[in-house]
Amino acid sequence: NMLSLFKNSAVKRNTMTSVRAFSAQVTQPAPAFEGMAWTEGGFKKISLNDYKGKYVVLFFYPLDFTFVCPTEIVAFNEKAKDFEATGAQLIACSVDSHFTHMEYTKKPREQGGLGDMDIPMLSDLGHKIASDYGALMPNGALALRATYIIDDKGTLRHASVNDLPVGRNPDEVLRLVQAFQ
């Protein structure tokens, strides 16, 4: 079950014998990505190229409908206008389908859903984006809580990856964006 994926993540990680190669390196061009997203009440294919000239904060979370995720994603969403004011676009990403993202936003917050969202929710069903960015768990099941700041020229300026149970602080991410600008 899903809970066992979370509880056993450290054990599975320690049994890995190889290191996955990924192309996301701070100071280098960010890996290109493209995928279907749930955004502005509909499905839309988005890519990193769509945001040329803007900062992008790409943040991964494990799965829709799981613990910590709703409060963390809602907290980022509530700061969307602050990020926009700095010329930055927030993009949430998980290995769920865009259909699951849609259902997650249609479920009210008091029932474990997200409610209406102001930021794109990118689907990484094939796990390629999470893998390219080094955010995929070693067992390949889902993405860790990872945050990437990409500048207006497409250069990766910041990367951080948290283990599953620990969320992130949107105010700190906003501070980092402002510091890089």
On whether the CB atoms of residues 60 and 130 are closer than 8 A, the answer is yes
Of the residues 69, 91, 95, 117, which is catalytic?
A: 69
Sheet strand arrangement including 42-47:
42-47, 34-39, 121-123, 88-94, 55-60, 145-150, 156-162
pLDDT of residue 78: 96
**Is 93 considered catalytic here?**
no
d(CA 160, CA 153): 20
On whether the CB atoms of residues 145 and 62 are closer than 8 A, the answer is yes
Residue ranges in the chain modelled with pLDDT below 70: 1-22, 67-69
| Confidence (pTM) | 0.86
On whether the CB atoms of residues 107 and 113 are closer than 8 A, the answer is yes
Burial of 33 (0-12, 13-18, 19+ CB in 10 A): buried
From the centroid of its chain, how far is CA 19?
A: 21
pLDDT of residue 2: 43
**Helix (H) or strand (E) segment spanning residue 42:** strand 42-47
**Helix (H) or strand (E) segment spanning residue 161:** strand 156-162
pLDDT of residue 1: 41
The third-level CATH classification (topology) of the domain covering 2-7+22-180 is: Glutaredoxin (3.40.30)
